[in-house]
A and B are shown apart, each in its own frame.
Chain A
């Protein structure tokens, strides 16, 4: 089946540093990748939609200069949290739409970011 590999699965970083999260589609081409974050006891909230070869579309309230998304190839999308602050600590997860018959959504395993 369609697999999205996301890493790192967890990361602890200092305030002010940047963290890059990668999502790779292993056996399919992900033309679109959705990036979500989830705070404790909250729902997954869409941050942005990235399409291969074009600029990402950010949801209202999400700073595009802080959360840099790159989707340079059909198998790789990255999210970089720049100048991280403790309030950025969250569970970040990517999801790709597959072009299989079922047209299902495949999720990465998520990245738990803690900023200290």
Chain B
């Protein structure tokens, strides 16, 4: 079983749509959780951290369910510029340990 699993997509949605991505992780000892965004042939960039209480940043809402080891990302009012690959990422600790990446979910927002 992969450590971090995501639906690879692609998700093709019209502008203004709401889209949700899901992710599961296998290691219950994971401590910190993130969504990263990666554009084609570029480095990943932090979109947002994910907290158990849920958190929102503008059009983006992230949720974490530790009991079911499940993370989600909701994007409202999709923009063309949201087209990218969204990576679910976990870390086993809050210390100096490497991030573990999912394969990513490809999103294409269409005009």
Q: Which residues of the partner chain A approach B54 to less than 8 Å between Cβ atoms? A: none
Q: Closest residue to B45 on the A side, CB-wise?
A: A107
Q: Which residues of the partner chain B approach A44 to less than 8 Å between Cβ atoms? A: 44, 87, 101
Q: A104 vs B96: C-alpha distance in the bound complex, in angstroms? A: 10
Q: Closest residue to B103 on the A side, CB-wise?
A: A43
Q: Name B's interface SS.
A: loop
Q: Which residues of the partner chain A approach B8 to less than 8 Å between Cβ atoms? A: 41
A interface with B by C-beta (< 8 Å): 31-32, 34, 36, 41-46, 49, 91, 93, 95, 97, 103-105, 107-110, 112
B interface with A by C-beta (< 8 Å): 4, 8, 41-46, 87, 94, 96, 98-104
Q: A107 vs B101: C-alpha distance in the bound complex, in angstroms? A: 13
Q: Which residues of the partner chain A approach B96 to less than 8 Å between Cβ atoms? A: 31-32, 97
Q: Closest residue to B3 on the A side, CB-wise?
A: A43
Q: Tell me the minimal C-beta distance from B36 to chain A in angstroms.
A: 9
Which residue from A41, A43, A49, A110 sits with its C-beta under 8 Å from B4? A43
Q: Which residues of the partner chain B approach A45 to less than 8 Å between Cβ atoms? A: 101
Which residue from A41, A42, A49, A108 sits with its C-beta under 8 Å from B43? A108
Are A42 and B103 CB-contacts (below 8 A) given A104-B46, A107-B43, A109-B42? yes
Q: A97 vs B61: C-alpha distance in the bound complex, in angstroms? A: 25
Q: Which residues of the partner chain A approach B42 to less than 8 Å between Cβ atoms? A: 109-110
Q: Which residues of the partner chain A approach B100 to less than 8 Å between Cβ atoms? A: 46
Are A109 and B43 CB-contacts (below 8 A) given A41-B103, A42-B103? yes
